[in-house]
């Protein structure tokens, strides 16, 4: 099992027990060294206290399990206003909200579309755009985030 999968397998149940959702786990080398970044969420939104609690809990678990054998920085944060949409459940949860999707085209290129998240169907989501309704299969979505106009 790859390290990222092992880290997710360790973090996800602990977060669920705390009433939180793991939106995204990133483990990568950055300018200042290795960073393990947990992006968490819950229905009522994430507080600084939630981030501190997760940092302590996950930090302790990582210390016991010794999955990472070198120095790293653990960061815990909320997904922010432009929350990534990763799973089918995310599209169901945020139905009716505006989203920006990068879609893989048949010719190998991609395009970006923005619209309101509609119903989730078998292996696809409907997006209500200014040009009409668009059905997008999940396997064609390269990247998706909630989108906000300011």
Q: 29 and 8, same structural domain?
A: yes
What CA–CA distance (Å, rounded) separates 42 from 54? 13
pLDDT tens for the 150 residues of the chain, in order: 599 999 999 999 999 999 999 999 999 999 999 999 999 999 888 999 999 999 999 999 999 999 999 999 999 999 988 889 989 999 999 999 999 999 999 888 899 999 999 999 989 999 999 999 999 999 999 999 999 765
What CA–CA distance (Å, rounded) separates 118 from 96? 6
Say if 118 falls within a structural domain.
yes
- Domain-ending residue, one of 77, 112, 136: 77
- Domain-ending residue, one of 25, 57, 77: 77
Length of the chain: 150
Q: 107 and 58, same structural domain?
A: no
Q: 92 and 26, same structural domain?
A: no
Q: 114 and 68, same structural domain?
A: no
Q: 66 and 107, same structural domain?
A: no
- Domain-ending residue, one of 77, 104, 124: 77
What CA–CA distance (Å, rounded) separates 149 from 83? 14
Q: Which domain holds residue 8?
A: 3-77
What CA–CA distance (Å, rounded) separates 8 from 26? 10
Say if 82 falls within a structural domain.
no
Say if 139 falls within a structural domain.
yes
Q: 93 and 71, same structural domain?
A: no
CATH number, residue 115: 2.30.30.100
Number of domains composing the chain: 2
Say if 83 falls within a structural domain.
no
pTM: 0.77
């Amino acid at each position: 099992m790859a390290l990222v999968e092992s880290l997710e397998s360790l973090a996800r149940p602990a977060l669920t027990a705390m009433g939180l959702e793991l939106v995204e786990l990133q483990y990568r080398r950055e300018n200042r060294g290795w960073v393990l970044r947990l992006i968490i969420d819950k229905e009522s939104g994430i507080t600084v206290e939630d981030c501190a609690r997760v940092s302590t809990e996950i930090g302790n678990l990582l210390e016991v399990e010794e999955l990472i054998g070198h120095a790293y920085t653990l960061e815990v944060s909320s997904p922010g206003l432009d929350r990534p949409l990763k799973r089918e459940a995310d599209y169901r949860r945020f139905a009716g909200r505006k989203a920006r999707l990068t879609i893989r085209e048949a010719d190998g290129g991609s395009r970006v579309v923005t619209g309101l998240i509609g119903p989730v169907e078998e292996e696809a989501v409907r997006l209500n755009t200014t040009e009409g309704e668009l059905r997008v299969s999940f396997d064609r979505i390269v990247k998706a985030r909630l989108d906000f106009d300011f």
